[in-house]
Amino acid sequence: MTMKERNLAFLYSPEIEALTYPPDCPFKMQRAGLARLRLKSLGLLGDENRFEFAPRRASLAELKQFHTAHYLEEMQRAADGDLTVDGLRMGFGGPDTPVFKDMFECGAWACGAGRTAADLLLQGRADVAFNLLGGFHHAFPDRAAGFCYLNDVVLACMKLADAGKRVLYLDVDAHHGDGVQAAFYGRKDVMTISLHESGKTLFPWGGFEDETGEGAGNGFNVNVPLPAGTYDEAFLTAFDSVAMPLADAFAPDMLVLELGLDILAGDPLTHLRMTNNVVVEIVERVLKLNCPILVAGGGGYHVENTVRGWALAWRTFCGENDECDFALGMGGVMLASTEWAGGLRDRVLPVSPEQRASVEPELRTTMETVINNVFPLHGLEAPSLGGQQVRSG
């Protein structure tokens, strides 16, 4: 597939514009609309090959493929202002799962958009489909958590798998994709790989390297917990040493990429220290899998950084050259800040020796564990990680 032939779809419609979480909640549905406006202003959205597509709302029958009927009833009831004891037990009304008028509609539209995106990929109408409304990877069949109520990424993976596709779910959000892990833990037709800030320092407090799947799914669930303070080079070393060899070995027909940008330095809820330059690297790597890609939004609580990072991802999928931008980023004075008016790319952030020393040994041990646990199950040999450091900067 040449760059010119790649078709990108952006899922959006006017109905979605008005949907909102409570104003005091850090999760902002508006990020998708802001990304859309940014792309339009850059001339990267709104032509034949880079088109907007209106999703449909997910039906109850679709939502029931993952969620229980009782949960869906309680959620609609809570949205209408009637929070029951059962609803409370299901997580509604917690600090990260507020009860609000649009709680059901936000999820139903996000799930519908995920399913619509899956359809576009299955029909060959798009090679890459962006659902920035979604990425609700913490939702369980009967439990809400971490701003997530209805799990669009599970439902999208299910649709692709039901069509007979081998699906790779790759989650780079700062939080572990626990709901998705649970959904496919015993399956080998949907492989899940999650790189995330370690559960030792961040919600949902799990997603460790010894969680590798069960039964037929053993080896098809991969977690790479990252130490707090993880920076671009360390992340990319883990991505290249662990995620990509497994992705290549799995040889997916379809990729679902959860591109939560709470990995970026400056995010108010997490402790990683990446820049959006890793977004470009991730996109370039997953394109080499040579399969259709669904991109789901996910986290990202510094709104401007998140929107800019998603726009950068889209631009990279478009195959647009950004050398000029990158030169600005590299040539600028290196400040310990991601505030930057030079383009879509972040400045390169310097890594202190202390940061390196606190991240590298722990990450190397994690990578070795994952490699030892999982690589043999896929006929892969352990790569040499080097004895001194993960990767010199």
Q: Which residues are catalytic?
A: 138
- Sort 4 into a burial class: Cβ within 10 Å, 0-12 / 13-18 / 19+: exposed
Which of the stretches 125-133, 177-185, 260-268, 377-385 binds Zn ion when contact is defined by CB under 5 A? 260-268
CA atoms lying within 13 Å on the CB side of residue 112: 19
CB of 263 to Zn ion, least distance (A): 8
Considering only residues 211 to 230 of the shown chain, the ones binding Zn ion according to CB under 5 A are none
Quote the tokens at residue 341: 């008016």
- Which residue lies nearest Zn ion, judged by its C-beta? 299
Pairing state of beta strands 293-296 and 254-258? Answer: parallel
CB of 136 to Zn ion, least distance (A): 10
Backbone angles phi, psi at 50, to 5 degrees: -135, 80
CB of 173 to Zn ion, least distance (A): 4
Helices (H), 196-302: 232-238, 244-250, 277-287
Q: Which is nearer to Zn ion, 173 or 346 (CB)?
A: 173
Query: How distant, in Å, are the alpha carbons of 108, 110, 166 from that of 192?
Result: 23, 20, 11
Query: How distant, in Å, are the alpha carbons of 46, 159, 196, 200, 244 from that of 218?
Result: 43, 22, 20, 24, 18
CA atoms lying within 13 Å on the CB side of residue 73: 5
Among 262, 267, 346, 360, interactor with Zn ion by CB under 5 A: 262
Neighbours of 75 (CB within 10 A): 25
Helix, coil or strand: residue 360: helix
Among 50, 67, 159, 175, interactor with Zn ion by CB under 5 A: 175
Asked if residue 138 binds Zn ion (CB under 5 A), the reply is no
Residues with Cβ within 8 Å of residue 384, at least 6 apart in sequence: none
Asked if residue 87 binds Zn ion (CB under 5 A), the reply is no
Q: Which is nearer to Zn ion, 173 or 233 (CB)?
A: 173
| ω into 204 cis (within 30 of 0) | yes
CB of 188 to Zn ion, least distance (A): 26
Asked if residue 260 binds Zn ion (CB under 5 A), the reply is yes
Considering only residues 309 to 368 of the shown chain, the ones binding Zn ion according to CB under 5 A are none
Q: Which is nearer to Zn ion, 175 or 356 (CB)?
A: 175
Which of the stretches 15-23, 32-40, 166-174, 242-250 binds Zn ion when contact is defined by CB under 5 A? 166-174
CB of 174 to Zn ion, least distance (A): 5
Asked if residue 174 binds Zn ion (CB under 5 A), the reply is yes
Number of residues that bind Zn ion (CB under 5 A): 6
Asked if residue 173 binds Zn ion (CB under 5 A), the reply is yes
Considering only residues 272 to 301 of the shown chain, the ones binding Zn ion according to CB under 5 A are 299
Q: Which residues bind Zn ion (CB under 5 A)?
A: 173-175, 260, 262, 299
